[in-house]
Amino acid sequence: MSVTIKTPDEIAKMRIAGRKAAEVLEYIEPYIVPGVSTAELDHLCHKYITDVQKATPAPLNYKGFPKSICTSVNHVVCHGIPSEKKILKSGDIINVDVTVIVDEYHGDTSKMFLVGKVAPHAERLVKVTQECLYKGIELVKPGAHLGDIGHVIQQHAEGNYYSVVRDYCGHGIGKIFHEDPQVLHYGTPGTGMELVEGMTFTIEPMINAGKSGTKLKSDGWTVETRDGRLSAQWEHTLAVTATGVEVLTARNEERF
């Protein structure tokens, strides 16, 4: 597979899909409280996406994934499956990952939420991981290389004594959920693909408090840290513009 360059019309469609994905994260925030199950969060998001937005939740039935969002709590790195049995409690950190399809195009974004009162070390992991995403986004422009993005993320994570997950990465996105290129969250400046106007891809660093190793649970989806320590992730879908970057999944709370 090779990288697809989107036309302005395609970017316009991705802007709409991206905005809708962001709105799901804005919508679900007040429900993320101690006592709620991750299945309930999935149910609320599913109804909002299908009934209100008239959009399609991309994860549902994607390669057999059974739910409409991913919910990854504490030591779960990514692809957590919402469950009635997973009840949030004060002190948890949770990533909610939303991907919607509108008019054939995907918007993919995730953020961390703090449940109740969270320990300072956990809040710090969440904050540094968001900074990793933002530092990556800042470098996106024509002529930059994917390795520049990976490098700045790795530097910031490791500079804070955290580790970068290497088993999963960001990805090109468009009519296809996961397409080329692979966007690694570690790397060397000046290496990797050179960015050109019209590319659309995600940056979605997964940063671990301990070691970078992961293990896949027997459900075939849930990815956990090998050492059982905390992991955090933030994700945006981006378009490379003539002069820089457009964050297609920006929320109202963000300023780019």
Binding site for ligand MF3 (CB under 6 A): 59, 62-63, 65, 70, 79, 97, 99, 108, 204, 221, 235
Residues 136, 140: Cα–Cα separation, whole Å:
7
Is the distance from CB of 95 to CB of 233 less than 8 angstroms?
A: yes
Name the binder of 65 from Co ion, ligand MF3, none, CB < 5-8 A by kind: ligand MF3
Name the binder of 134 from Co ion, ligand MF3, none, CB < 5-8 A by kind: none
Nearer to Co ion, 10 or 243 (CB): 10
User: Measured from the CB of residue 233, what is the shortest distance to ligand MF3 in angstroms?
Assistant: 8
Q: Transcribe 26-73 into DSSP letters.
A: HHHGGG-STT-BHHHHHHHHHHIIIIIS--EETTTTGGG--SSSEEEE
- What residue is closest to ligand MF3 based on CB? 59
Is the distance from CB of 228 to CB of 78 less than 8 angstroms?
A: no
User: Measured from the CB of residue 223, what is the shortest distance to Co ion in angstroms?
Assistant: 13
**Tokens standing for 88?**
């949030």
Task: Check binding of 202 to Co ion (CB under 5 A).
Answer: yes
C-beta atoms surrounding 138 within 10 Å? 14
Name the binder of 92 from ligand MF3, Co ion, none, CB < 5-8 A by kind: none
| Contact positions vs Co ion (CB under 5 A) | 97, 108, 110, 202, 204, 235
